[in-house]
Amino acid sequence: MSTDIRSTVPSSVVEGDQTYIMHTYGRLPVEFVSGRGAILVDSAGNEYIDCLAGIGAVSLGHANHSVVAALKAQADKVWQVSNYFYEENRNELASGISELLSALCEEDGHVMGSTGTAWRMFFCNSGAEANEGAIKIARRWGEVKLGGASCIVTAKQSFHGRTLATLAATGQDKFHESFQPMPAGFTTVPLNDIDALREAIDNPDDKTGPVCGVMLECVQGEGGVWPADYDYLRAVAKLCKKRHVLLLIDEVQTGFFRCGSPFMYQRAGIEPDIVSMAKGIADGFPMGAVAARADIADLMHPGDHGSTFGGNALAAAAGRATVETLVSENIGEHVLTTGRHLRHRLEAMPHVSQVRGHGLMRGAQLDVPIASELVDAGLGKGIILNHIGDSVLRFLPPLVITRYQVDKVCDTLEALIEELA
């Protein structure tokens, strides 16, 4: 289907956006007004296959009936009362996530058991907030257990959020420009280099001081979809345990079956001390969470951390429905199968030199710098793509995308590559 994307957004919408909204995003010329599953519909009635899913957030697809029903039912009761009071959906959601966090998985992503680990949750509203919470918990550990150690080691090319602390944790200088000075207490090392990490822990810089935690993404999403090696993750976990340093895993983009397993770290056979999560937790409804092993979480006391809206009744209802549906529909197996098919289709395309990632989080490395042009051209053909830089296409479709839809996207993309390369 060919779409004239110039005509899909009413001029009044464009003018209102330009007048009243901060210009922190480069808009694509489409306004979406409805959706179902992996399909979005714009204001002119054109349909698109969505391979971005709200930047990996719409896990069960647009307008999933279970999540919609849960939100409607809760909206008729109560929305927000604050965290001073009990809330059943919040408890049930925390219980469900705790079970997912404790899953034992094979390297290929299949679940084979449980560790039985006890986890405690703190609910917030975004991935950046979840990572802020993870950093605070690690620094509390450093204060209580390590004589005041406060430095967090992260990886180069990482991305952990856009608040000042999470920007400081992000290992990409381009995000630091214009926002100096960055908060202190962070240092970076190359991903997959255990010797560099060991050196950072054993011989800390005088400016940052002793290390209390190591914070990693198992797949660097914003850095170009670069996976951490399983052997590296296992070595990191072993090193952290030996040095009594906490291991923080950022699962904001990879969590909730995005890569096939409940959480990506499970494919390496490790269990971190703290896990941050967001995006797919509530099928696109704004929500995040940080989980810590119970013995570590219990170092935090009333007043140490908080969030006005975190874990509110509406978000908890959406999150509970999402997690329960992800599990009941065995979405992980679908992701593994469909993700392999997507990888094979991408690997067979001209000018695709490498396909990285796992499950339905894929990065296609191009040998020609046309990624941005492909995103624009894709809209005109009814597919929603995403690019990182000039030569990487990133795929984060709803986890319910079908094999037929993957084939349709790949057929269209292959023709566009041949046309533009």
Structure tokens at 148: 């005041």
Q: CA geometry: angle at 33 spanning 339 and 51, to 5°?
A: 15
Peptide bond between residue 181 and the one before it cis (omega within 30 degrees of 0): yes
Contact 291, 275 (CB under 8 A): yes
Structure tokens at 169: 């944790």
Using CB atoms within 10 A of its CB, is residue 21 exposed (0-12), middle (13-18) or buried (19+)?
exposed
Domains of the chain from N-terminus onward = 5-63+331-354+367-391+398-420 (3.90.1150.10), 72-328 (3.40.640.10)
What is this structure's pTM? Answer: 0.96
What pLDDT, on a 0 to 100 scale, did the predictor assign at position 191? 98
Q: How far is CA 334 from CA 53, 60, 173, 330, 403, in A?
A: 16, 12, 37, 7, 10
What is residue 85's DSSP assignment?
A: S
Structure tokens at 171: 């290992």
Positive or negative, the CA dihedral 116, 118, 122, 128 is: negative
Place of tokens 């995003």: 25
The rounded distance, in Å, linking the Cα atoms of 319 and 140 is: 28
Which residues make Cβ contacts (< 8 Å) with residue 295, sequence separation at least 6? none
Secondary structure (3-state) at 358? strand
The rounded distance, in Å, linking the Cα atoms of 112 and 70 is: 30
Contact 257, 331 (CB under 8 A): yes
pLDDT string in tens for the chain (421-residue length): 444 455 678 899 999 999 999 999 999 999 999 999 999 999 999 999 999 999 999 999 999 999 999 999 999 999 999 999 999 999 999 999 999 999 999 999 999 999 999 999 999 999 999 999 999 999 999 999 999 999 999 999 999 999 999 999 999 999 999 999 999 999 999 999 999 999 999 999 999 999 999 999 999 999 999 999 999 999 999 999 999 999 999 999 999 999 999 999 999 999 999 999 999 999 999 999 999 999 999 999 999 999 999 999 999 999 999 999 999 999 999 999 999 999 999 999 999 999 999 999 999 999 999 999 999 999 999 999 999 999 999 999 999 999 999 999 999 999 999 999 9
Q: Assign residue 272 a region (left: φ > 0; alpha: ψ between -120 and 50; beta: otherwise).
A: beta
Which residues make Cβ contacts (< 8 Å) with residue 321, sequence separation at least 6? 64, 66, 67, 69, 70, 71, 283
Secondary structure, 3-state, 163-217: CHHHHHHCECHHHCCCCCCCCCCEEEECCCCHHHHHHHHHCCCCCCCCEEEEEEE
Contact 29, 369 (CB under 8 A): no
Secondary structure (3-state) at 364? strand
What pLDDT, on a 0 to 100 scale, did the predictor assign at position 8? 77
Of the candidates 200, 218, 216, the one whose C-alpha atom is nearest the C-alpha of residue 149 is 200
Which residues make Cβ contacts (< 8 Å) with residue 331, sequence separation at least 6? 59, 60, 257, 325, 399, 400
- Find the length of the chain: 421
Secondary structure (3-state) at 42? strand
CA 383 to chain centre: 21
Strand order from edge to edge, sheet including 392-395: 352-358, 361-366, 392-395, 386-388
The rounded distance, in Å, linking the Cα atoms of 347 and 344 is: 5
Q: At what angle do helices 230-243 and 194-202 cross, to 10 degrees?
A: 20
